[in-house]
Amino acid sequence: MTTEEKPDSPERSTVFADPKEVGAWERLSPISIVYFFLKFTITSIRQGFVNAIPAFAAFAVIVDNKLFWLSIALPSLVLAVMVFGVLYYWNFRFQIRNGEILIHRGVLKKEKLNLQYSRVQNVNISRPFYFAPFKLVNCIIESAGSKTSEVDLPGVSEPFAESVQSEVFATEKDEHHETSGSIVEPSEADGNLPQTTDAENSTAPMLKLSNLEAAKSGLTSYLALIVLAAFAPFFEKFSDVLADKFFPYLLKIVEPIVGDKFLAGVIILVTTFVVIFLIITSASVIGALIRFYNFELYNKKDKLVRKAGLLERKTTTLTKSKIQSVAINQNLIAKALKRVSLQYRQVGVKLTNENDGSIQIPMLEPQESSKYVSVAFQNCPDPCFQPIHRSYIKRVFLYFNVIPFIIIFSPLSILVSKYFLFAFLGLIPIFGLIKLSYKRYGFWHNHEFAAMRSGLLGHRIVIFPLYKIQMTKFRQSRGQRRRKVGNLTVQLGSGVETIPYLKSDIADRFINLALYKTESSNQPWM
C-alpha cells in the first residue's frame, strides 16, 4: 500500500479540490484542522487514557499543588493536540491519478499511501455540523478487508467526494464484469436484476424514519443497562455521599409530607433510582437521536444509501451484491414497542457495529421487515422455520445445568450448610429459559436462501443466500449421533452462525445444496 511516490507537480493551495482538475497535489480546506483536532482529541482520550493511568496515580499521590499543575497540564495538552492538528493539515496532500488516490500525511510518522480504486471497499460521505456552513464534507475511503486502512479526506467539496465515490463504484463494476467473465446474468439470489422498478429509480427515500422512532430506538438499546453496570463500582461511594449529605436533607423535606420516616426513606430511595435510570435512559435516547436523526434509506439500482446523523450527517453507501446477510433483531424492549431492527451486513462486520460500512435500520414494524430483506435479496420469501430437535431441552438442562449444580452444591450443602440446597431452586427458571431458547431456534432454507433464528427473550434472524457461504461444519456428540441430530455451523463473510440439534438428514441435504450453490456460482460474492 505504501509507496515511495514523490510529488511530481508543483503544490497549490486550494480551499477544496475541484473534481475536474486531477493529477495535481491538493490540500484540504483549513476547516479540516477542526476535524483533525477533534479526531486526535478523541484518539488521545481513547488510547492515552489507559496508558496515562500510572501518571494519574503518580500525580494524585506525589504532586502537592494539584490544581496549579492541572491548570498548566490541561491547556498544554490541548495546545499540543491543536498544534498537531495544524501540522497534520499542513503535511496532508493528496491527488487523484489514473484510478488511484495518492496521499501524503503524517507529522512524526510520514505516510505515503497509494489507494487503488479496485482495492477500495466503500466510499462514504459524512458532513460534521462544523463543515455544513462551508458546504464541505468528509470523504471516507475504506479499503478491502482492513479497518486500519480507512482513509479520511476531511474538508473536501461534496461534488468532489461524489465524483470519487462514483469513480470507485464504476471501477468496482468493471472489476465484477471482468472477474465473472461473460456470465454476469443476475440471478434471483442476488437481486441485481437489470429491470429497475420505479421505486429504485426515484430519488425519494425508500424509508424515512421519524425522529420519534429514532429516539425510541435509544430505548431498545441496552446501553442504559450497560452504563449502569459500568458504574456499579462507584455506587457504594455514591450511596455513601448520598446517605451522608443528601439523604438527611431530603428526609427533612419528605418526612413532614408523608408523615412516616420509613416511608419517606423508601420514597427517596426509589425516586433516586428512578432519576438515575431516567438520566441514563435519556442519554441512550439522545445517543440514538445523534446517530439516527432524520434517517433516510434510499434504494438505488444496485446500491443502498443511508443518510442520518445530527452532529455529523453521514451518508453510507452499500453495494447490494456485497451484502452477505441480513440480520433482524428484536430484543425484549423492542418486542414491547412492537419493533425490530434490521441490519445489512457485509464482510467482517460485527453485529452491533455500524461504523464499518454496514447499514442498520434501527426501527421497523415487524411486518415490514420482509420488504427490506427483499431489497437486498430479491425473491427471498418469508422464512418458515422448522424447530430443532426436542432433545435439546433435556440434554442442555441435564448436562450443562443439573450435573454442574449437583457437583457444586451437593458437597456444599453437606459440608458447609444445608441452605445450599435452595440453590437447586435456581434450576426452575433455568429450565424455563432453556425451553424459551428451544422455541426461538429455527432453521429454514429453499434452493436459494437460508435463515437461522435464535434468541431467548427476544429473537435474532439471519438470512443469507446459499452461494455466499464460506464454510460449513457439522458437529455431533455421541448422544446426538444416536438421535441423528447435530450442530450445523455456517460461516458467512459477515460472521459465523450456528444452529444446534438439527436433524442430520436436514443438515446433510442443506450442506450438499449449499456446496453446490457456492461452487457452481459465478457471481461475485463480495
Please report, as ranges, the residues that interact with another protein according to CB under 8 A. 179, 183, 185, 187-189, 324, 347-348, 447, 467, 469-478, 481, 491-496, 508-509, 511-513, 515-523, 525-526
Q: How far is CA 526 from the centre of its chain?
A: 19
Q: Which is nearer to another protein, 164 or 451 (CB)?
A: 451
Residue 73 makes CB contacts below 8 A (sequence gap 6+) with none
**Distances in Å between the alpha carbon of 505 and those of 11, 84, 502?**
68, 63, 9
Closest distance to another protein from the beta carbon of 505 (Å): 9
In this structure, the dihedral spanned by the alpha carbons of residues 459, 465, 470 and 472, taken in order and rounded to 10 degrees, is 60
Closest distance to another protein from the beta carbon of 177 (Å): 14
Closest distance to another protein from the beta carbon of 512 (Å): 4
Q: Which is nearer to another protein, 347 or 375 (CB)?
A: 347
CA distance 469 to 494: 10
Closest distance to another protein from the beta carbon of 525 (Å): 7
Q: Residue 451 carries which DSSP code? A: E
Indicate the SS3 state at residue 100. Answer: strand
β-bridge mates for residue 503, sequence order: 485
For residues 361 and 318, is the Cβ–Cβ distance under 8 A? no
Q: Which is nearer to another protein, 284 or 521 (CB)?
A: 521
Among 334, 336, 354, 335, which Cα is nearest to 344's?
354
CA distance 96 to 4: 16
CA distance 178 to 175: 5
Closest distance to another protein from the beta carbon of 326 (Å): 15
Closest distance to another protein from the beta carbon of 193 (Å): 11
CA distance 402 to 397: 6
Closest distance to another protein from the beta carbon of 354 (Å): 18
CA distance 183 to 173: 14
Query: Length of the chain, please?
Result: 526
Closest distance to another protein from the beta carbon of 50 (Å): 23
CB-count exposure of residue 388 (10 Å: 0-12, 13-18, 19+) = buried
Q: What angle do CA 484, 490, 493 make, to 5 degrees?
A: 175
Q: Which is nearer to another protein, 11 or 185 (CB)?
A: 185
β-bridge mates for residue 316, sequence order: 306
Closest distance to another protein from the beta carbon of 489 (Å): 8
Q: Which is nearer to another protein, 114 or 504 (CB)?
A: 504
CA distance 262 to 268: 10
Q: How many CB atoms lie within 10 A of CB 58?
A: 10
Closest distance to another protein from the beta carbon of 172 (Å): 16
Q: How many CB atoms lie within 10 A of CB 178?
A: 10
Q: Which is nearer to another protein, 121 or 299 (CB)?
A: 121
CA distance 303 to 192: 10
Q: Which is nearer to another protein, 81 or 485 (CB)?
A: 485
Q: Which is nearer to another protein, 26 or 302 (CB)?
A: 302
Closest distance to another protein from the beta carbon of 301 (Å): 19
For residues 145 and 347, is the Cβ–Cβ distance under 8 A? yes
Q: Which is nearer to another protein, 364 or 492 (CB)?
A: 492
In the chain, what is the straight-line distance between the N-terminal and C-terminal CA atoms, in Å? 21
Q: Which is nearer to another protein, 111 or 174 (CB)?
A: 174
Q: Which is nearer to another protein, 252 or 475 (CB)?
A: 475
